């Protein structure tokens, strides 16, 4: 957390000062002991969150949220969903009221239309409605208020929080309190003794999604010069280790893409010798790790080789997607309006964010839902002159990784999807330190 403390933020009613990291550390420390003492300690964490929300501005909250996402399963009381979900939603309402202004633009039009449409498709699923619209509304409120400085700090907090929560999860992996909270881990092979690491989330696929986004964010920070090389390598190696022991095929494929992009950037930035060194290092490491019996990478590779068709390669997702698409387009009404927010899953959840939104909300709802995200993203880019001058992949790298990941994961009612979207869009504000300074487009909020 040391590099978070040095970043400057705006305090309400005070001069600019260092990021108030002590309150965040208190929240995390309390969450650490919650499973072992009482889950009702989460109420104390909630009080600290509300205090910091009221005391500081939206930039501080963005950092707090990104740091706490990985601890969300600990942040709950019996019989309730993760409290971080409601903290995020309340923050959106609070900062919207405190802003005292409603700016009429295309994003506002989409968010209002989505509100009314979700009301018509809510039926009895009030909780789903609150989670879905609440997160979209808070993204609408928070993202335009961020700056390059707050985006860099939030990105570092996201990576650091995930590392700390992963280490905590590994240390207490078999503690009965954590097992009761998370559930039993999934075996790598049916009936086998090797378990897939899941962090605190009870699902290795959602956990590895956070890990991959964290690695992508680190690459963006490294490319822009916003993180020291030693911190980059230490953090990246730790993330890769935890991602590998999740034994996710998606993790392996996307990791290859991330490594390829990183090496490609070295050549593009005219760091030819470094690029050649990295290429040779990767080739040698891959040969050792992929073909050694002791290596987790070898077990990952075995998962690929055991798949004999598309159904097995996608772990049943391709069959599931076909089933959902056929059901959605079984009639014009369901195609355009969906089945509503209270519709039951077809055996399993859709495992694809686009298909999931189509299933619940139809084509109309899909246009409105993604219209909010795309217009919000587009407006952010248009109002950041220095960002729009960057290379396409460098600008949109993290958000592209988020989009790819959630083509195999659902998320309309999941904190991980909205957290990944939040950090993915914010990452577009991260620009190189060597740009000519003084450009207000990257240091001020969107007007």
- Distance CA(53)–CA(83), nearest Å, equals 14
| Beta bridge pairs of residue 18 | 8
Which has the closest alpha carbon to 344: 359, 362, 357? 359
Most distant pair of Cα atoms in the chain: their distance: 63
End-to-end Cα separation, the chain, in angstroms? 31
Average pLDDT, the chain: 85
- List, for the chain, all residue ranges whose pLDDT scores fall below the cut of 50: 2-3, 5-17, 388-389, 435-447
DSSP letter (8 states) at residue 227:
S
Tokens read off for 348:
């399993």
- Distance CA(240)–CA(300), nearest Å, equals 13
3-state secondary structure of 20: coil
Which has the closest alpha carbon to 365: 106, 119, 88, 108? 119
Rg of the chain, C-alpha, whole Å:
22
Q: What are phi and psi of 176, to 5 degrees?
A: -65, -30
- Model confidence pLDDT, tens digit, residues 203-257: 899 999 999 999 999 999 988 889 999 999 999 999 999 998 898 888 888 888 8
Which has the closest alpha carbon to 143: 62, 70, 56? 62
- Distance CA(2)–CA(19), nearest Å, equals 10
pLDDT at position 290 is: 64
Any residues with CB less than 8 A from the CB of 307 and at least 6 apart, and which? Answer: 313
pTM of the model: 0.87
Residue spans of alpha helices (H) in 10-57: 21-37, 42-55
pLDDT at position 444 is: 44
Residue 187 to residues 184, 191, 197, 247, 325, Cα–Cα distance (Å): 9, 7, 9, 10, 30
- Distance CA(251)–CA(408), nearest Å, equals 11
Which has the closest alpha carbon to 69: 206, 221, 271, 226? 206
- Distance CA(164)–CA(141), nearest Å, equals 28
- The distance from CA 327 to its chain's CA centroid, rounded to whole angstroms, is 29
pLDDT at position 231 is: 94
pLDDT at position 436 is: 39
3-state secondary structure of 427: helix
- Model confidence pLDDT, tens digit, residues 392-428: 666 788 999 999 999 988 889 999 999 999 999 999 8
Tokens read off for 415:
């904190």
Domain boundaries, the chain: 2-101+146-306+383-442
């Amino acid at each position: 957390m040391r590099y978070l403390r040095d970043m400057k933020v705006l305090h309400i009613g005070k001069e600019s000062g260092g990021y108030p990291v002590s309150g965040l550390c208190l929240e995390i420390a309390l969450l650490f002991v919650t499973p072992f003492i009482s889950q009702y300690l989460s109420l104390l964490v909630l009080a600290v969150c509300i205090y910091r929300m009221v005391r500081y501005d939206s930039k501080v909250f963005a950092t707090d949220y990104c740091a706490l996402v990985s601890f969300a399963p600990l942040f709950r009381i019996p019989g309730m969903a993760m409290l971080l979900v409601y903290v995020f939603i309340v923050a959106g309402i609070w900062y919207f009221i405190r802003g005292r202004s409603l700016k009429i633009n295309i994003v506002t039009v989409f968010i209002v239309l989505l509100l009314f449409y979700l009301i018509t498709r809510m039926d009895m699923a009030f909780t789903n409605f609150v989670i879905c619209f609440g997160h979209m509304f808070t993204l609408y409120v928070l993202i335009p208020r961020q700056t390059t400085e707050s985006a860099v700090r939030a990105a570092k907090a996201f990576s650091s929080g995930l590392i700390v929560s992963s280490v905590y999860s590994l240390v207490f992996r078999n503690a009965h309190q954590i097992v009761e909270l998370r559930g039993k881990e999934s075996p790598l092979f049916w009936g086998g003794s090797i378990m897939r690491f899941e962090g605190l989330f009870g699902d290795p696929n959602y956990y590895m999604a956070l890990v991959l986004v964290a690695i992508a964010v680190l690459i963006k920070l490294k490319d822009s010069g916003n993180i020291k090389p030693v911190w980059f390598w230490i953090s990246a190696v730790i993330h890769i280790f935890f991602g590998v022991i999740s034994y996710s095929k998606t993790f392996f494929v996307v990791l290859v893409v991330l490594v390829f992009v990183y090496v490609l950037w070295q050549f593009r930035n005219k760091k030819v010798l470094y690029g050649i060194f990295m290429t040779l290092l990767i080739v040698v490491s891959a040969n050792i790790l992929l073909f050694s019996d002791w290596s987790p990478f070898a077990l990952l590779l075995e998962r690929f080789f055991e798949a004999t068709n598309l159904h097995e390669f996608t772990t049943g997702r391709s069959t599931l997607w076909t089933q959902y698409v056929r059901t959605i387009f079984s009639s014009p009404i369901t195609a355009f309006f969906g089945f509503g927010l209270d519709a039951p899953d077809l055996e399993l959840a859709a495992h694809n964010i686009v298909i999931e939104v189509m299933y619940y909300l139809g084509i109309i709802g899909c246009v409105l839902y993604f219209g909010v995200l795309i217009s919000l993203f587009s407006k952010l880019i248009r109002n950041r002159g220095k960002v729009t001058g960057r290379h396409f992949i460098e600008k949109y790298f993290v958000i592209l990784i988020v989009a790819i990941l959630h083509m195999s994961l659902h998320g309309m009612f999941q904190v991980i999807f909205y957290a990944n979207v939040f950090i993915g869009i914010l990452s577009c504000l991260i620009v190189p330190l060597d740009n000519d300074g003084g450009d207000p487009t990257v240091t001020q909020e969107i007007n």
